[in-house]
Amino acid sequence: MAPARVHASGRQDILRGMRDHGIPLTAENYSVWQEYHEASDTKLRRAIDILLSNGRIPDQTALHRLYARHCAPVQETAALRDIAQRALETLHLVTGMLGDMQGAATEYGESLRSAEAGMATTAAETGSGPTILKPLLERLAGETRDMIRHSKTLVRRLTQSSERIEELEQFLSEARREAATDPLTGLANRRAFDTALREAAADAMNTGRPLAVLIADVDHFKAVNDRWGHDTGDAVLRMVAGCLTQAVRGRDIVARHGGEEFSVILPETPVDGAEAVAENLRKSVSQTHLALEASNTVLTVTISVGVTVYEAGEKLTDTLARADRALYRAKQNGRNQTAVVGQNG
């Protein structure tokens, strides 16, 4: 998916909002206000709206916490920090250019007023003789040419800066996307899963609709690595990821939970529906074969799946702990199967 672009009008709205609320222009604060402006993170928007509705402006400590929770990757890379700083420097450059343009316009206006006053005085003294007015008109024409040339230069530089900002914003969006993606499988990583689960739980609380969580584990994965090597193990993980992705619906979220574990978020899905989805996932993996060309072997793996449903108001760590217990039960019962654990199970 291509990273989202923030158009010039959007940037102006973001900067205007920061200025109106007295938010200092830093790379972190700009990221927070961009997320707030685009409403791409409902929890961040809700947190800021609550502060603003109470007549409070987020201070720098609150903004830093919002950035760390909603905008920053788990381990912010030096490259991302560099991109953010370059974007901030460009924003400062554009601000300076706008200041230059305002200064030039002010100077030009003063020249016009001076010329107008001079012409009025000369006209009164000489009866508006065109020969005497000629130097003033030439001065006015020269000022006009200088203003036009200066404006063209500024417009060109502003256009170049705007293009650079768009490029940097693309880099930032791509860096954020990569920070939330497992590089091996292309699935959401654990950080993205945790964020998506918090949002899904909030929606379930607001709507009263069910929310199911699955945790799946590749059976005997260590044996695969030991016998066939880690390259084959990686190929198995990619194959399983593909099976899981193809077997879920559009709103469902599949993530690599860690190691050979995968997790699935199923919004608006009751326990019986979640169990049916888990069975479809399990069968899809077991019926998919991986050809090992080097050894002329066809490899088949299976998964065990734990199923649970989020109970409104509970801690998400409790939900995940139940899903883990369900997975452990599936493993204990012989693997390659699905187990369900409810709140009392």
List the catalytic residues. 260
- Residues in the chain, total: 345
Which among 186, 105, 219 is positioned nearest to 151, based on CA atoms?
Answer: 105
Distance CA 100, CA 230 (A): 59
Residue 318 phi/psi, 5-degree rounding, is: -70, -40
Residue 253 backbone dihedrals phi, psi, to 5 degrees: -120, 125
SS3 291: strand
CA distances, 86 to each of 9, 14, 171, 267 (Å): 20, 18, 11, 39
Residue 203 sits at φ, ψ, to 5 deg, of -65, -40
What is the Cα–Cα distance from 323 to 241, expressed in whole angstroms?
Answer: 19
Q: What secondary structure letter does DSSP report for 176?
A: H
Supply 199's token pair: 């949002």
DSSP H helices in 180-301: 190-207, 221-228, 230-246, 271-286
3-state DSSP helix/strand/coil percent for the chain, to nearest 5?
A: 65, 10, 25
Token code pair at residue 284: 């899809």
Q: Rounded CA gap, 71 and 69, in Å?
A: 6
